[in-house]
Amino acid sequence: MTLKQLEAFYWAATCSSFALAAERVHLSVSSLSKRIAELEASLGQVLFDRTGHRAALTEAGSRLLPLAGALLQQADLLHQQMGATTGLRGPCRLGVGELTALTWLPRLVAAIERAHPDLEVSVHVDVGAALAERLDKGELDVAVIAGPASRSALTAVPIAQATFAWCARPEVAASVRSMNAAALQTHPLVALPPGSGVTQLIDDWLRQAGAQPLRRLHCNHWGAIAGLLAHSGGIGLLPEGWARALQRRGVLQQLKSPVPLGLLDYAVHHRRDDLRPLVATLRDIAAREADFTVAGSVF
């Protein structure tokens, strides 16, 4: 029995497919299967039931899984403490939402590549619920998502807060003057669809302000929302860095409100059982680079 065999077994048991597990340990599927077969021969136990459409853990495999995880964690700790790991290598799969992608994602990727040039970084942009599902299946290593972990298999470490501002084009701002309940009776509310973190901020503000929009215009793309606000009679939220940049250009104007807007907390999410040094490293780099005030290259 070897650590490499245990590693192959552990990821085959915790990923949604042998193909994903093979990617985790930088092997072909056939080589992964060979290591698992060697482990089974060494232990004299069948660890996977392969009769169904998808391999499932046997009773022996279920007993081995937590033991293998603990042993691999100790091996990683030994490598770190003895200085055996000089740099990370292999696939590095990041998940981010659109707001992260349009603000500080370039800084994050650049920082990862500087610190660990042998990592093969790939980025998947999606909504938070989809990213959480991919994490749970083992398809992503970490993801930057708004709010706490939504699944029991995941954990989240807060890294930054995003701030927002009410905006409208200058002609609308001149007629509104203040962002209040009355403003939404004469101008449509331009916003992300229900279910996003920002939608929750808006709903909280509406309750506090005692406001009910006469009409909502939903759009699932931040850049398109900025364009709609610049060329329509609508009012909406934008990240504060974007709002400042567009106000300097005279495209939009920020609206003051007697009711304050809340902040949106962002965190690095990952699987609770994923104790690889890669995860801790990505979490630390993300915490250093996170900055939602960056206007990015969009403007």
Q: pLDDT (tens digit, 9 = 90+) per residue, 244-267?
A: 999 999 999 999 999 999 999 999
156, amino acid identity: A
In this structure, the dihedral spanned by the alpha carbons of residues 107, 109, 110 and 114, taken in order and rounded to 10 degrees, is 140
CA dist., res. 116 & res. 110, Å (int): 10
Question: pLDDT, tens digit, for every residue of 102-126?
Answer: 999 999 999 999 999 989 999 999 9
The answer to whether residues 128 and 190 belong to one domain is no
Average pLDDT over residues 52-77: 86
What domain range includes position 199? 164-255
Q: Is residue 295 part of a domain?
A: no
pLDDT at 90: 81
**pTM for the complete prediction?**
0.77
Picking from 81, 105, 124, the residue at the C-terminal end of a domain is 81
Query: Does residue 72 surpass a pLDDT of 90?
Result: no
Task: Look at residue 78 and tell me whether its pLDDT is greater than 90.
Answer: no
Instruction: Quote the percentage of the chain above a pLDDT of 90.
Output: 64
Among the listed ranges 153-157, 197-201, 294-298, which one has the minimum average pLDDT value?
Answer: 294-298
Domain count, the chain: 3
Q: Which parts of 24-73 are beta strand (E)?
A: 48-49, 56-57
Q: Indicate whether 154 and 104 sit together in one domain.
A: yes
Residues 138 and 285 in one domain: yes
- pLDDT higher than threshold 60 for residue 84: no
Q: Please tell me the distance from the alpha carbon of residue 43 to that of residue 257, in angstroms, as a whole number.
A: 67
